[in-house]
A and B are shown apart, each in its own frame.
Chain A
Amino acid sequence: MGDNDVGEQTALLSLQHASKAFGAVQALEDVSLDLYPGEVHGLVGENGAGKSTLVKILAGVHSPEAGRLLVGGRDTVLSGPAAARDAGVAIIYQEPTLFPDLTVAENIFIGRQPLTTGRRIDGREMHRQVSAIFERLGVRLDPGRIARGLSIAEQQIVEIGKALSLDAKVIVMDEPTAALSAVEVARLFRVVETLREHGAAVLFISHRLGEVPQLCQRVTVLRDGKLVLTRPLAGLTTDDLVRAMVGREIQERAAGGRSTGEIVLQVERLTREGVFVDVSFDVRAGEIVALAGLVGAGRSEVATAIFGIDRYDAGSVKLGGRKLRRGSPTAAMAAGIGFVPEDRRQQGLVMEMSIAQNVALASLGRLGRIGFIRGAAEQRFAADWAVRLGLRYGRLTNPASSLSGGNQQKVVLAKWLGRNPALLIVDEPTRGIDVATKVEVHRLLTELAAEGVAVLMISSELPEVLLLADRILVMREGRLVTELAHTEATEERIVAAAAGGVSEEAA
């Protein structure tokens, strides 16, 4: 990318020495960030490094406990999302929230529609302005269609259009490419380039390190809530970025070397129309198999179909050689499957219930007597698992919501481990968990496999996949495209298989 001559200009947005803590966790500590007009600024860091917190501060969702924010050179306090919008800061989330029943144009102009003299909405003028914005962005999207059914890429375009209609000078993109195909990413990059040429400042957050040098002029690296570096990208290699992000060699034992046993899970030609097609694989006792792929590739859907939450149209799931009834989580549990879902707050835990109750939730049959749950047994059971998993908590009777993300995940794990599962399905087991707990979860999964549990893991974090999995199955657009053994897997090969380059029809 071109020279980076930004030193003379005033920053459009300047965050200075910002700190933010959630309970005992220091999410952000003394972080400063300047965004200049006409620059695309990369922000990278591991999960839990503080990127989301930073974004939420800029979005007006969180307010920093220390530090100041200057927008256009003026001290600014963002009291809420509306204040951020009024200050000219627009956030494009990975999955935008639109009004599905309203048209594209209305989504962009809701609450600010151009009016005629009688205070009626001037639909024609609104469409004209939206068309003009899309033309400026170089995209073709019908302003009059309803938003329901738009692809994620198109939804992001709508959000970017909204940002432009608001005349936003600072546009924050929070992992916008995570769910996009290669073609859509190329399109998004062109749009970002257009924004930059028009003098906007773009903060670009991505997990795909290869994208950052392609698009950005400068980069900021966060680690454990602290600023590691901010500098022009010229002369930086991807390896430099990784080193800055990780900061140290994490000593973790690699996968492999375990002896595997009988086939536990056998999935044959599993198909759910429009979601995944013809998925076949098996998982042996003592083996960790990872499902890799981009968000939206159908990985979680395969997992929920196996566990019986969602139905499938064709194919079969066998556990220990016996065919599993479809669409019945009860049958799946009885057969010995444990399922740690992707979203632990919504799906994994009952946040209002106590830690002990959550741990015991899947084992109530064994802890009760003639249908009544014995509180004492529940407590003992939970206390036992809390010790085994190294759970850090106040009291077992505190609600699950009082725990940190990592410890919440341990509770979800304990819930299933208490049932001695033959197969454990874990979906994004370390998402949003701090580095130390992450290592513990990894150790736990490895130990389980060593004890002979079959583990099916879904993870978007490639280092985690490479570290833990004996075999890696890569999904793309609902299909299983590649299988890689632990020894032959590299990050590049997985990404190449998952992204699949330019798809056939589109080329």
Chain B
Amino acid sequence: MTTGVETPLEVAALDTAGTRHLVDLVFRIREFGIVAALALLVLVTASIQSRFLTQTELKFILQDTAIFALLALGETMVVVSRNVDLSIGSVVGLSAFVSANVFGQVPGVPIPVVFLVGLGIGLVCGAVNGLISAVGRVPSLVVTLATLYIIRGIDILVVGGGQVVASSLPNSFVLIPNESIGGVPYLAIVIAAVVVAGAYYLRSYRSGRELYAIGSNPDAARLGGIPIAKRVFTAFAVSGAIAGVAGVLYASRYGTIDSTAGTGYELQVIAAVVVGGVAIFGGSGTAIGAALGALLLNTIISALYVLGVSPFWDQAISGLLLITAIALDRGISVRLTAALRKRRSRLGA
């Protein structure tokens, strides 16, 4: 390639350095792809129905996305380690009711305390998930499916037939999702910052990278002495805590909370995570991608609403997007492996 004294393997190694850029590009494209899809969606929708680009509409989208993006951060940590947390929807419901109920029980309670209550509830739920699946080595799919029902059951017991209504909540609490600067809700800004911080942690800290390592090759992780149980437990605890906080936000956003609050959120969040480029079998993907996935799914729902399409299509289109994302993921990895393999056999290595 450059000098005349290189041995063949060096040529091969150099050549793989070239493929690195290809590989990097492919992985970056995953996030570019979502942004491109978003841009296209917004453009097309706005050209048909200009109402779509009003501040009110954009604010709605961001308010809706914020909670999902936050939940997607926790779910990303879990999925990246080749696990899944199905219980977050139920945690959101339980936390939403209990924390909102605090206002009725303890008049004048400071809002941060209510957030701590939600966080605590979520942390306990997440710790239970983590304990059973990481320490007890039970597949997390089964564990969190069980806790999905158990926590929902507890929620129903606690709520009974009643519900919390917005009028019983303090104004300052209900207004949290509405406060905005230049049309952008504060909440969205704060959550964006949290997601970026979370993504940075996963990328730049040992324990974060180890979650990727565990998901990438659990056997190698075990042989490499990575504290798998500890890391996975932490991921579940954080995911639970985040779901707890998201529950409080749910209460402030919707005001009315009964025992069905948050039902089905887990699947929407997992859909966002996968659409956002997090590999469902772990090892790769970012929290930012997952947040963008949540934004894309919510924007679609809003676009369909603005265009007057029946909400029936919401779910069908989310599903279609999910399959596209998974097919894309699979296609890319198959192509990539095949490309690298062919390159190798061509070099006679």
**Which residues of A come within 8 Å of B, CB atoms?**
81-82, 85, 97-102, 106, 110-111, 113, 115, 119-121, 123, 139-142, 144-146, 148-151, 153-154, 181, 183-184, 187, 273-274, 477-478, 502-507
Docked complex Cα distance between A304 and B196 (Å) = 47
Other than A102-B213, A141-B17, give 16 A-B pairs with Cβ distance below 8 A. A100-B283, A101-B212, A101-B215, A110-B209, A113-B209, A121-B204, A139-B13, A141-B13, A149-B341, A151-B344, A181-B349, A274-B345, A477-B345, A502-B8, A503-B349, A506-B12
Q: Report the minimal beta-carbon distance from A468 to chain B, rounded to whole angstroms.
A: 30
In the complex, the chain B residue whose C-beta lies closest to that of A119 is B205
User: Per a CB cutoff under 8 Å, which of B8, B20, B221, B223 touches A507?
Assistant: B8
Docked complex Cα distance between A148 and B220 (Å) = 14
In the complex, the chain B residue whose C-beta lies closest to that of A146 is B23
Q: Which residues of B contact A120 (CB under 8 A)?
A: 204-205
User: Per a CB cutoff under 8 Å, which of B10, B11, B204, B216 touches A99?
Assistant: B216
Q: Decide: B216 and A111 in contact? CB cutoff 8 A.
A: no
In the complex, the chain B residue whose C-beta lies closest to that of A162 is B224
Docked complex Cα distance between A491 and B217 (Å) = 38
B2-18 Cβ-contact flags toward A at 8 Å (1 or 0): 00000111111110110
Q: Report the minimal beta-carbon distance from A79 to chain B, rounded to whole angstroms.
A: 12
Q: Report the minimal beta-carbon distance from B280 to chain A, rounded to whole angstroms.
A: 13
7 pairs, CB–CB < 8 Å, chain A vs chain B: A101-B279, A101-B283, A102-B283, A119-B205, A151-B344, A273-B338, A274-B341
**Which residues of B come within 8 Å of A, CB atoms?**
7-14, 16-17, 19-20, 23, 204-206, 209-210, 212-213, 215-217, 219-221, 223-226, 279, 283-284, 333, 336-342, 344-349
Q: Which residues of B contact A505 (CB under 8 A)?
A: 346-348
Docked complex Cα distance between A145 and B213 (Å) = 15
In the complex, the chain A residue whose C-beta lies closest to that of B345 is A477
Q: Decide: A506 and B8 in contact? CB cutoff 8 A.
A: yes
Interface of B is mostly: helix
User: Per a CB cutoff under 8 Å, which of A102, A141, A506 touches B209?
Assistant: A102
In the complex, the chain B residue whose C-beta lies closest to that of A187 is B9
Interface of A is mostly: loop
Docked complex Cα distance between A99 and B210 (Å) = 10
Q: Decide: B206 and A115 in contact? CB cutoff 8 A.
A: yes
Docked complex Cα distance between A142 and B13 (Å) = 7
Docked complex Cα distance between A144 and B210 (Å) = 17
Q: Decide: B13 and A140 in contact? CB cutoff 8 A.
A: yes
Docked complex Cα distance between A141 and B18 (Å) = 11
User: Per a CB cutoff under 8 Å, which of B14, B223, B347 touches A81?
Assistant: B223
In the complex, the chain A residue whose C-beta lies closest to that of B340 is A149
Q: Which residues of B contact A140 (CB under 8 A)?
A: 10, 13-14, 17
Q: Decide: B9 and A111 in contact? CB cutoff 8 A.
A: no
Docked complex Cα distance between A62 and B317 (Å) = 53
Q: Report the minimal beta-carbon distance from A17 to chain B, rounded to whole angstroms.
A: 28
Q: Decide: A97 and B217 in contact? CB cutoff 8 A.
A: yes
Of listed A115, A151, A184, A504, residue having the most chain B CB within 10 A: A151
Docked complex Cα distance between A102 and B284 (Å) = 8
Q: Decide: A121 and B209 in contact? CB cutoff 8 A.
A: yes
In the complex, the chain B residue whose C-beta lies closest to that of A111 is B226
Of listed B13, B219, B340, B347, residue having the most chain A CB within 10 A: B13
Q: Which 7 A-B pairs have the closest CB atoms?
A: A503-B348, A149-B340, A506-B8, A101-B283, A145-B20, A142-B17, A82-B225
User: Per a CB cutoff under 8 Å, which of A97, A113, A150, A184 touches B9?
Assistant: A184
Q: Decide: A99 and B225 in contact? CB cutoff 8 A.
A: no
Docked complex Cα distance between A121 and B200 (Å) = 11
Q: Report the minimal beta-carbon distance from A335 to chain B, rounded to whole angstroms.
A: 30
Docked complex Cα distance between A273 and B339 (Å) = 11
Of listed B204, B210, B346, residue having the most chain A CB within 10 A: B204
Q: Decide: B349 and A184 in contact? CB cutoff 8 A.
A: yes
Q: Decide: A149 and B349 in contact? CB cutoff 8 A.
A: no
Docked complex Cα distance between A149 and B216 (Å) = 14
Q: Which residues of B contact A97 (CB under 8 A)?
A: 217, 219-220, 223
In the complex, the chain B residue whose C-beta lies closest to that of A182 is B348
User: Per a CB cutoff under 8 Å, which of B12, B336, B346, B347 touches A148?
Assistant: B336
User: Per a CB cutoff under 8 Å, which of A85, A111, A119 touches B210?
Assistant: A111
Q: Report the minimal beta-carbon distance from A217 to chain B, rounded to whole angstroms.
A: 25
Q: Which residues of A contact B337 (CB under 8 A)?
A: 148-149
Q: Which residues of A contact B9 (CB under 8 A)?
A: 139, 153, 183-184, 187
Docked complex Cα distance between A105 and B115 (Å) = 41
Docked complex Cα distance between A151 and B15 (Å) = 12
Docked complex Cα distance between A100 and B282 (Å) = 11
Q: Report the minimal beta-carbon distance from B2 to chain A, rounded to whole angstroms.
A: 11
Q: Report the minimal beta-carbon distance from A183 to chain B, rounded to whole angstroms.
A: 5
Q: Decide: A477 and B225 in contact? CB cutoff 8 A.
A: no
Of listed B204, B337, B340, B349, residue having the most chain A CB within 10 A: B349
In the complex, the chain B residue whose C-beta lies closest to that of A476 is B348
In the complex, the chain B residue whose C-beta lies closest to that of A83 is B225
Q: Which residues of B contact A99 (CB under 8 A)?
A: 212-213, 216-217, 220-221, 283
Q: Which residues of B contact A119 (CB under 8 A)?
A: 205-206
Docked complex Cα distance between A506 and B15 (Å) = 13
Q: Decide: A504 and B205 in contact? CB cutoff 8 A.
A: no
Q: Decide: A145 and B14 in contact? CB cutoff 8 A.
A: no
Docked complex Cα distance between A82 and B340 (Å) = 32
Contact A101-B209, Cβ < 8 Å, known A111-B226, A145-B17, A153-B9: no
Q: Decide: A151 and B12 in contact? CB cutoff 8 A.
A: yes
Q: Which residues of B contact A149 (CB under 8 A)?
A: 16, 19, 23, 336-337, 339-341
Q: Decide: B349 and A98 in contact? CB cutoff 8 A.
A: no
In the complex, the chain B residue whose C-beta lies closest to that of A80 is B225
Docked complex Cα distance between A151 and B342 (Å) = 11
Q: Which residues of B contact A504 (CB under 8 A)?
A: 348
Q: Decide: B14 and A102 in contact? CB cutoff 8 A.
A: no
Q: Decide: A85 and B225 in contact? CB cutoff 8 A.
A: yes
Q: Decide: B23 and A145 in contact? CB cutoff 8 A.
A: yes
Q: Decide: B16 and A150 in contact? CB cutoff 8 A.
A: yes
Q: Which residues of B contact A100 (CB under 8 A)?
A: 216-217, 283
Q: Which residues of B contact A478 (CB under 8 A)?
A: 345
Q: Decide: A506 and B348 in contact? CB cutoff 8 A.
A: yes
Docked complex Cα distance between A85 and B16 (Å) = 29
Q: Decide: B217 and A98 in contact? CB cutoff 8 A.
A: yes
In the complex, the chain B residue whose C-beta lies closest to that of A121 is B204
Q: Report the minimal beta-carbon distance from B108 to chain A, rounded to whole angstroms.
A: 40
User: Per a CB cutoff under 8 Å, which of B11, B215, B220 touches A98?
Assistant: B220
Q: Which residues of B contact A506 (CB under 8 A)?
A: 8, 11-12, 347-349
In the complex, the chain B residue whose C-beta lies closest to that of A93 is B223
Q: Which residues of B contact A145 (CB under 8 A)?
A: 16-17, 19-20, 23
